[in-house]
Amino acid sequence: MQSIKQRKKVVYSPGLTELPPLPMDVPGLKEGFRHHYTCHLGRDKYCRSPRYYYKALAFTIRERLMERWNNTRYAYLDADCKHGYYLSLEFLMGRALGNALLNLGITDEASRALLELGLKLEDLSAEEIDAGLGNGGLGRLAACFLDSCATLELPVMGYGIRYEYGMFRQRIVDGRQVEEPDHWLRDGNPWEVERPEYTQRISFGGRCESFRTESGETSYRWADTRDVLAVPYDIPIPGYRNGTVNTLRLWKAAATDVFDLDEFNAGSYTESVATKNEAENITMVLYPNDASENGKALRLRQQYFLASASLQDVVARWKAHKEDFADFAEKNCFQLNDTHPSCAVPELMRILMDENGLGWDEAWGITTRTMAYTNHTLLPEALERWPLPMFQQLLPRSLEIVLEINARFLKEVAKRWPGDSDRLRRMSIIEEGEPQQVRMAYLAIVGSFSVNGVAALHSHLLSEGLFRDFYEFWPEKFNNKTNGVTPRRWLAWCNPGLNRLITDTIGNGWVADLGRIRELAPYADDPAFRERWHSVKQENKARLASLVEAKCGVTFNTESLFDVQVKRIHEYKRQLLNVLHVIHLYDRIKRGDTAGWTNRCVLIAGKAAPGYYMAKLIIKLVNNVAKVVNDDPDVGDLLKVAFLPNYRVTAMEYICPGTDLSEQISTAGKEASGTGNMKFMMNGALTIGTLDGANIEILEEVGEENFFRFGLTAQEVEQLRPNYYPHAVIASDPDLARVIWLLQSGHFSMFETGIFDPIVQAITSPRDPWMVAADFRSYVEAQKRVAAAYHDREGWTRKSIINSAYSGKFSTDRTIAEYNEGIWHLDRVKAERGSQEEDAAEHHLEERERSFG
């Protein structure tokens, strides 16, 4: 056993960095603003550009984060605490300004300071471009997690990639999606701090050599590599009014210096510059697919780049303070956000063995006690696989290690199930075939001590289905962590009207302890409270309606039911089922079947992966149906349809507060969790949904009478599959038959004959994996219950209040507390508080200690 090692002594000069705290009041903020506007940005009284107003405010806030950021770092260092690292190819952060103001507790002060300068906070806020460094759910979850880690005072750092181009911007031309590059850094990013002093060197290519060490052991060397530099950019992550500011570290690729380039290029200048380009390409663009795009070498480069840079960074910091790796696993934990960063498993092995001289067993012990893997998908086709030859070429040393991991692992499996060669084939990290493939999920499972799904049903289906063999081998590794969303951004910030009403009613404790929002439940029976709740919803609907008017030219009447489905466009999410219902409503209107009608505004938004033909066709269909419906004078206010372009974090901040009905209608067993469903619920929308993902848990919280459930269960879906005949379903349902007929007859494609044939084919195919037709009747009946319920305004408002009141479970504070209790085991570390935090925080923290331990 090794003895307890002392921390190395660090020498620093406090005099260099000690400053008086910056004022957080109105005069202080005004002063800061003027200083940055004139002295820092160099603008004068004649420049009246909102962009510079925004920048001046951003810098004013940023410097107030800085002192807390340093204090937090010092607190973590002093505590010598265990750290968590969230490794993710995506962080869908959205805007930072409002979040920083809210979490610092100076929204009102900033607002007033600006008013006194003749400016409006909302106008400045609108200047900020979203940091769209993610596709959807998985990326936004990472962002919500960071907010909760900082709020819970957990020493967790995010590691990601600083993509030059984030998620593409979507425009709609002739009803079709057109992608445009998102050059979000063009005007600079006031929220990042470049830290070239922590640059790491990342190797690619080359070959492996073995050699004898002086002590006579075999060791390995990775030679003739092509190297790239990883330069970190740090982004502050403020906790909610607690003085904590954590770090999101994003890596940018840069070429190594020119001398190195000359080696490869035999002194050729132009070749040299081209190589520089190749290096910098690694972090140029986010892959815009939310299901794995297999076989793109650049994507594998990105993944290894992130894993290697982050691990080297952590190990370098470790070695600055510690003599050896004896308690590395007790002090560090890496959470892998899906398999995307799972190169981290062989990479940590390589760093420990090849660069630090540890033996296999010791390195493997450390690796498998520090890695934890979260799965986000149930679709087998979305599991990441890399062709072995590509892996070999790009990461020869990693592959060697993966093969050794696999050989040792399969030996254990064979011991447990002797002679079961089929099981070995099924469980092998290497899939046989032409070419062989590396199964990244299996690598992640074998290399981790924890494997979790993101909702109860999802985790259950992982153990029973996708990862059954592994569950049988290691049942203790498998666990569930139901997703959440941060109530700071997704209620307190995005819905100021509701924030005020809730806070007036039960105080503001709910913001940092969402369980307490349950105290609203009794007020559902109070008519005066319901009236206030309803009028907040109406204001939010008006705000959403103006957005729709401005971006789509469609007029939404706020007296109508606002029926919303916003998420990535995917067949399994069944935007098609929504459209079929819209066509059915249109058909009813045209037939005059409108007795007891509820006026409805249907809003759909979302991006399609650029290469996903059917998803793009669905967007076209939504737009064509919208055009026919909205232009038909017979329809009027009975039904409106709009497709809102360029859905993103900021769009959702306007959409969820103004929504009455949240569409969560995926084929049961396909949506791992969903998180949009939680944002809507918090903001008082009712859900129409299948028993899928976290919908099930939402239903459990609110009860059947406050949720519109429909459709086959996951089990029924699989039972029906072999005997599914959509033609028979259509033949026995005249409403569906008419809808299909309208589609086929070209009613929505007058001058574009046959463009929707592939959609009709998909729906009518017995092999339709998403079984759209199977759930049509049940969906339409559920929508009838929705329409009837909306007629009863008091009843609806009651249900709306109940939905918010029972949304406490879906705070990422609860999710993160569970990650920490079940997986990370980090101690909370309090950072020094400023005066601003003092009053607000003490109160919340005590409350939270009681609920989360």
Q: What share of the chain is helix, strand, coil (3-state, %, to 5)?
A: 55, 15, 30
User: Is 573 noted as a catalytic residue in this protein?
Assistant: yes
User: How many amino acids of this chain bind ligand 26Q (CB under 6 A)?
Assistant: 24
Q: Which is nearer to ligand 26Q, 368 or 675 (CB)?
A: 675
Listed ranges 164-172, 177-185, 287-295, 428-436: which one lies at the site for ligand 26Q (CB under 6 A): 287-295
Q: What's the chain's Rg over C-alpha atoms?
A: 28
Catalytic residue chosen out of the listed positions 482, 675, 687, 812: 675
Q: Which of 283, 258, 284, 285 is nearest to 272 (CA)?
A: 258
| CA 546 – CA 391 distance, rounded (Å) | 50
Out of 573, 648, 814, 844, pick the active-site residue. 573
The CA-atom distances, in angstroms, between 644 and each of 137, 167, 628 are 19, 16, 16
- Of 133, 138, 245, 759, the residue at the interface with ligand 26Q (CB under 6 A) is 138
Residue 811 sits in the site that holds ligand 26Q (CB under 6 A): no
Return the number of the residue (589 or 698) whose C-beta is nearest ligand 26Q.
698
Binding segment toward ligand 26Q, per CB under 6 A, in 516-524, 666-674, 696-704, 824-832: 666-674
Is 679 a residue of the active site? yes
Among 99, 673, 783, 803, which residue interacts with ligand 26Q (rule: CB under 6 A)? 673
Minimum distance, C-beta of residue 94 to ligand 26Q, in the bound complex (Å): 15
Q: Where do the H-state alpha helices sit in 610-659?
A: 613-631, 649-655
Active site residue 640: no
One symbol per residue from 182 to 211: x for binding ligand 26Q (CB under 6 A), - otherwise; what is it? ------------------------------
Residue 654: CA count within 13 A, CB half-sphere: 18
**What's the min distance (Å) between Cβ of 573 and ligand 26Q?**
8
Q: Exactly one of 289, 393, 546, 555 binds ligand 26Q (CB under 6 A); which one?
A: 289
Interface residue with ligand 26Q among 675, 683, 807, 812 (CB under 6 A) is 675
Q: Which string of b and e fits 391-405 if b means at least 16 CB within 10 Å?
A: bbbbbbbbbbbbbeb
Min dist. Cβ of residue 299 to ligand 26Q (A): 5
The answer to the question of residue 653 lying near ligand 26Q (CB under 6 A) is no
β-partners of residue 238 are 245
**Residue 376 lies near ligand 26Q (rule: CB under 6 A):** yes
Q: How far is the CB of 368 from ligand 26Q (least distance, A)?
A: 24
Interaction residues for ligand 26Q, span 117-136 (CB under 6 A): 135-136
Residue with the two structure tokens 């190594």: 256
- Smallest distance from the beta carbon of 290 to ligand 26Q, in angstroms? 4
Q: Is 171 helix (H, G, I), strand (E, B) or coil?
A: strand
**Shortest separation between residue 434's beta carbon and ligand 26Q, angstroms:** 21
How many other β-carbons are positioned within 10 Å of the β-carbon of residue 74? 15
Active site residue 120: no
Residues 6+ apart with CB under 8 A from 302: 89, 161, 282, 283, 287
Min separation Cβ 670 and ligand 26Q, Å:
9
Amino acid at 689: G
Residue 398 lies near ligand 26Q (rule: CB under 6 A): no
Q: Kindly state the DSSP code that residue 455 receives in the 8-state scheme.
A: S
201 is catalytic: no
Alpha helices in 656-806 (DSSP H): 676-682, 695-702, 714-720, 726-731, 734-744, 757-764, 776-791, 793-805
Distance between CA atoms of 728 and 725, rounded to whole angstroms?
6
664 alpha-carbon distance from chain centroid: 17
Binding residues for ligand 26Q restricted to 452-491, rule: CB under 6 A: 454, 483
- Sequence-separated (6 or more) residues with CB below 8 Å from residue 366: 325, 328, 329, 348, 352, 358
Choose the catalytic residue: 226, 477, 581, 679. 679
Q: How far is the CB of 447 from ligand 26Q (least distance, A)?
A: 18
Report the candidate in 483, 476, 647 with the shortest Cα–Cα distance to residue 565.
647
Exactly one of 568, 570, 574, 799 is catalytic; which is it? 568
Nearest to 33 by CA among 122, 101, 114: 114
36, 43, 299, 385: which one binds ligand 26Q (CB under 6 A): 299
675 is catalytic: yes
Q: Site for ligand 26Q (CB under 6 A): which residue of 71, 125, 292, 452? A: 292
Q: Which residues are catalytic?
A: 376, 567-568, 573, 675, 679
Residues within the interface to ligand 26Q (CB under 6 A): 135-138, 141, 287, 289-293, 299, 340, 376-377, 384, 454, 483, 671-675, 693
